Structure 1
Amino acid sequence: MFLLNGTPIPNIFAGIEVDEVFYPWPLNAERMAELGITEVPDPPRQDDRFYWDGDLSRPKDLAMLKASMIADVKTQAAGLLAPSSWMIERLADPSSGKPVPPEVLDYRASVREAGAANEAAILALPDVAAMADFVMTWPEVPAP
């Protein structure tokens, strides 16, 4: 990023006007110093999920982010439960005679508990910065 006397220059590659004189790009180092143009590293870009255009000074609406993240929790929980759902559905067939293994029932219960804990943690987050740092936790998928 280039600065002219401390002010960001939006598009220096198109040239720049200083004191009513237009200077085409590229400028050599001496001319840039003479005009007061300095190059500084771009500020680190923040996560676009939480900040508009990655700009730390433009956080997204906290309530909207919480609703979106809770929807993600529900989607992830459903995805973790889906592979064993057929076992639960099999119980509805009286001729199957096969019970659901206890480890599957325990895993499904732990997924639901983790989902509820993740939702509660998200609702308790005080600001967008805390939300950007939040990591959901889920139980380990049992071995087949």
Structure 2
Amino acid sequence: MHATLARLSRQPVLAGGLAGLASFVAGQLLLTLLVGTPPADQAVAADAMLATNNLWLIAFMGSIWAPVFETAVAQWLPIELMQRLAAPSMVSLFASAALFSAGHMLGGGGALQGAITFVFGAVLAAIYLHFRKQGPGRAFAAAWACHCVNNSLAIAGIALGL
């Protein structure tokens, strides 16, 4: 088991992708246990994009572009800045998660999405911090892959009406 985790730690994109799958499944289970089915009128930050009905645009923007932009703004920038200021890792993690959540709430998400994105933002920050020992590029790749897989699964669920 330890050897498998050690090998996985050398492959940030694969590790991030698996973390994205695990966080999506765990998030859906937790959301279902806590609130059942989210109310139909619950605001989602991606509502405007999803209203375009262009599945290719939605897939590209939600699964590729948004994770690149959000990883740069909500993980790379705050964590690297905090590291330069010698802030403890937990402060970096909290700042990153708060920024990630605030961005989604300002983008049109409600309080429920704010809470969900704070937790997911903390997961992304933890992945970034774990892989940062191997360099910021590998950390970025791992957090980005996690975000890509998570968003892709969410978009697929919406497209399939789940």
Q: Given the two structures, how large is their TM-score scaled by the length of structure 2?
A: 0.30
- The structure carrying a bigger helix percent of its residues is 2
Question: Relative contact order (alpha carbons < 8 A, sep ≥ 6): 1 or 2 greater?
Answer: 2
Indicate the structure with greater strand content: 1
CA radius of gyration, larger in? 1
